[in-house]
């Protein structure tokens, strides 16, 4: 009996491992076909560098210290902009979500501002903030404010009225209802907004680092474009993709921890 149970457990572990890693099979197939096409001449390496060339350039940039230097600059800009956007988005969502007057005061303006294209704002930001670090951080902050605001506002307004009534019946004050019912109920939406904001932060940075930048991953990509170095351009894009995936995974881990009370997180 124990042998059978052990065998079943081993098969289940193997199956779980397969399910965990099968998501990486399609990208590996694409990369393999890409390399075959480049090696056979079907894909001109001057137009699109091969995976082998990209890997070599990646190693060279790391060994020279150039990639880590630009990466740290970009991370600093994203961290500063995201921090500002997180504070602003949360504050505005609380004002608009917890009060009808707050919604009347803020929501229409926020809905108009979030539709403005980033490229149209670049000249204004240069006039207002100059060409230093401030406009770059401001663009990232602006881009990340809206996902936080929209999702948290929706989460607050999506809390069931019956829960509020139950809290009132139990004698909770309005402040205690917000702290113990409304905010925990809106937390799943807020975390979704954080995931969106992290993605928007990197997209905003691509635009921001075109403003007279002399460092950063965006600067590295723009310089490579001038010299037709598709290998360096693709290295920069891969770095953006890895950072975006890594940031998303961090938030997913955070979700599992802080939302452990939700039934959907008890099935792991």
Can you tell me the distance from the alpha carbon of 96 to that of 242, in angstroms, rounded to the nearest whole number?
A: 35
Q: How much is the mean pLDDT over the chain?
A: 81
**CA terminus-to-terminus distance, the chain:** 26
In this prediction, residues 205-215 reach a mean pLDDT of 78
Distance of CA 266 to the CA centre of its chain: 25
Burial letters 75-108, b for 16+ CB under 10 A, else e:
eebbebbbebbbebbbebbbbbbbeeebbeebbe
Q: Which of residues 150 and 20 earns the better pLDDT score?
A: 150
The yes-or-no verdict on residue 5 having pLDDT over 50 is no
Give the highest mean pLDDT range of 44-48, 60-64, 158-162: 60-64
Can you tell me the distance from the alpha carbon of 134 to that of 221, in angstroms, rounded to the nearest whole number?
A: 21
pLDDT-wise least confident of 71-80, 104-113, 256-265: 256-265
CB 89 within 8 A of CB 193: yes
- What pLDDT is recorded for position 268? 46
In this prediction, residues 144-169 reach a mean pLDDT of 82
In this prediction, residues 3-30 reach a mean pLDDT of 64
CB 241 within 8 A of CB 218: no
pLDDT level of residue 14 (50, 70, 90 thresholds): low
The yes-or-no verdict on residue 265 having pLDDT over 60 is no
Distance (Å) of CA 114 to CA 109, 148, 220 = 9, 12, 28
In this prediction, residues 68-73 reach a mean pLDDT of 90
Q: CB count, 10 Å around CB of 43?
A: 17
Distance of CA 223 to the CA centre of its chain: 25
The yes-or-no verdict on residue 84 having pLDDT over 90 is yes
- What pLDDT is recorded for position 83? 93
Q: What pTM did the predictor assign?
A: 0.77
- What pLDDT is recorded for position 11? 54
pLDDT-wise least confident of 69-78, 115-124, 236-245: 115-124
For 167-203, what is each residue's pLDDT tens digit?
A: 777 777 777 777 777 777 788 888 888 888 988 888 8
Query: What phi, psi does 77 have (nearest 5°)?
Result: -65, -45
CB 121 within 8 A of CB 139: yes
In this prediction, residues 227-246 reach a mean pLDDT of 85
Both tokens of residue 150?
């929209």
Element (H, E) at 93: helix 66-97
3-state secondary structure of 175: helix
């Amino acid at each position: 009996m124990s042998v059978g149970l052990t065998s079943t457990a081993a098969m289940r572990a193997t199956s779980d491992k397969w399910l965990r890693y099968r998501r990486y099979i399609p990208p590996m197939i694409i990369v393999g076909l890409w390399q075959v096409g480049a090696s056979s001449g079907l894909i001109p390496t001057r137009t699109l560098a091969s995976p082998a060339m990209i890997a070599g350039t990646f190693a060279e940039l790391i060994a020279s210290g150039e990639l880590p230097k630009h990466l740290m600059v970009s991370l600093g800009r994203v961290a500063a902009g995201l921090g500002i956007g997180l504070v602003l988005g949360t504050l505005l969502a609380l004002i608009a979500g917890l009060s009808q007057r707050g919604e009347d005061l803020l929501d229409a303006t926020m809905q108009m501002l979030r539709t403005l294209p980033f490229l149209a704002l670049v000249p204004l930001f240069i006039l207002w903030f100059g060409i230093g670090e401030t406009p770059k951080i401001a663009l990232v902050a602006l881009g990340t404010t809206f996902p936080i605001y929209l999702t948290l506002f929706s989460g607050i307004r999506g809390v069931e009225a019956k829960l509020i009534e139950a809290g009132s019946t139990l004698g909770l004050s309005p402040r205690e209802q917000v702290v113990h019912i409304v905010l925990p109920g809106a937390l799943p939406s807020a975390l979704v907004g954080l995931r969106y904001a992290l993605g928007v932060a990197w997209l905003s940075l691509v635009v921001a680092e075109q403003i007279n930048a002399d460092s950063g991953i965006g600067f590295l990509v723009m310089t490579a474009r001038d010299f037709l170095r598709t290998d360096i351009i693709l290295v920069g894009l891969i770095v953006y993709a890895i950072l975006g995936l890594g940031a998303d995974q961090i938030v997913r881990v955070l979700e599992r921890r802080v939302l452990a009370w939700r039934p959907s997180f008890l099935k792991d």
